[in-house]
Copies of this chain bind each other. A is one copy, B any other.
Amino acid sequence: MVIVMKNNAAPEQVRKVVEWIESVGYKAHLSQGVERTLIGAIGDGRGKEQIQAMVCLPGVEKVVPILKPYKLASREFKPTDTVVRVGGLEIGGPRLIVMAGPCTVESEEQLMESAYVVKKGGAHILRGGAFKPRTSPYSFQGMEEEGLRLLKKAGERTGMPVVTEVMNTTEVDLVEEYSDILQIGARNVQNFALLKKVGQARKPVLLKRGMMTTLEELLMSAEYVLSAGNTRVILCERGIRTFETATRNTLDLSAVVVLKECSHLPVIVDPSHATGHWKYVTPLARAAVAVGADGLLIEVHPEPEKAICDGIQSLRPEKFYQLMDDVSLLERTLRKEVQKLP
């Protein structure tokens, strides 16, 4: 870290800062500028919070962190891409992985139909919500365990691993029993108790970026899971909240490139939640593949106008087939490029 002193800082104040740095086991390194004195605090990261608190000392203008706060999630720590293996599939490997299915498990019939549709289209993993985070307490909250049971059954019937959201620490064991991947939703990206709990699970974790989460914070949340022992983390960009309201959120495709630069973890993209409208999903799925995403998360519903939730962003079967045609074409074209990303 670099401590920047005020332009009128007294020598006594500088001396005090140096002493403080040394008292927490760091080395201090002075740099006398024309207008400012800078003091580098050189150490191994353990005293970090005490160093930051030095901003409260007299004469200190600011404390500038130099190192990134995440470690296990960083590409410096692990330069090679992490490949998460699930049921014979590789997420983060050379092939694009498509996870698709309905927002919510509504009934056995609806789910089975969805599963056959996404399988036919070429999806690799079946998604479906059993516990639903709904803004309104009056909205349908999901079929819960019965939904999990149906999801597992549909996955088995169609030969696809399944992914579903877990919202509460008390439900992690239950969801782990039924699901091949544990999804942490955008609203829970900083639910630290939940992150620690899925960090102890034996299933991979699909971690969605929150609407308000910086990429650094997302990697810090991944760090919670990794540091608890679960190394199989998949990151997911799903749109951030901005001033623009033409789409539900703003899909931040730059995030894919930044995350792959800073981290070794696989990154997938969810254009359905990001845009909030089926009309925009296919072009943005193409863009996600072109930018170098490792996979897609797509909402599909046999009859969107009858969907209990998020019908507006769900693709009808024929639209999903077209999306799969488009992205397959792109994937074949780009495979070589995608592998040599920046």
| Residues A40 and B49 in contact, CB atoms below 8 Å apart | no
Which of A50-58, A83-91, A114-122, A149-157 contacts the other chain?
A50-58
Task: Select one of B167, B244, B289 contacting A214, CB under 8 A.
Answer: B244
Contacts of A243 in B (CB 8 A): 212, 214, 240-243
A223, closest chain B residue (CB): B137
Task: State A223–B137 Cα separation when bound (angstroms).
Answer: 7
Check A174 for interface membership: any CB of B closer than 8 A. no
Task: Select one of B40, B240, B312, B341 contacting A55, CB under 8 A.
Answer: B312
Task: Select one of B38, B135, B253, B312 contacting A40, CB under 8 A.
Answer: B38
Task: Indicate how many identical chains form the complex.
Answer: 4
State the interface size on chain A (CB cutoff 8 A). 113
Q: Mark A216-258, 1 if CB is under 8 A from B, else 0.
A: 1100100110011000000000001111111100111111111
| Residues B133 and A190 in contact, CB atoms below 8 Å apart | yes
Contacts of A168 in B (CB 8 A): 169, 193-194
Q: Mark A312-329, 1 if CB is under 8 A from B, else 0.
A: 100000000000001001
A284 and B56 in contact (CB under 8 A), knowing A29-B31, A134-B192, A246-B215?
A: no
Q: Which of A23-39 contact B (CB under 8 A)?
A: 29, 31-36, 38
A29, closest chain B residue (CB): B31
| Residues B167 and A192 in contact, CB atoms below 8 Å apart | yes
Q: Mark A57-78, 1 if CB is under 8 A from B, else 0.
A: 1000000101101100000100
Contacts of A280 in B (CB 8 A): 254, 257-258, 342
Q: Which of A94-127 contact B (CB under 8 A)?
A: none
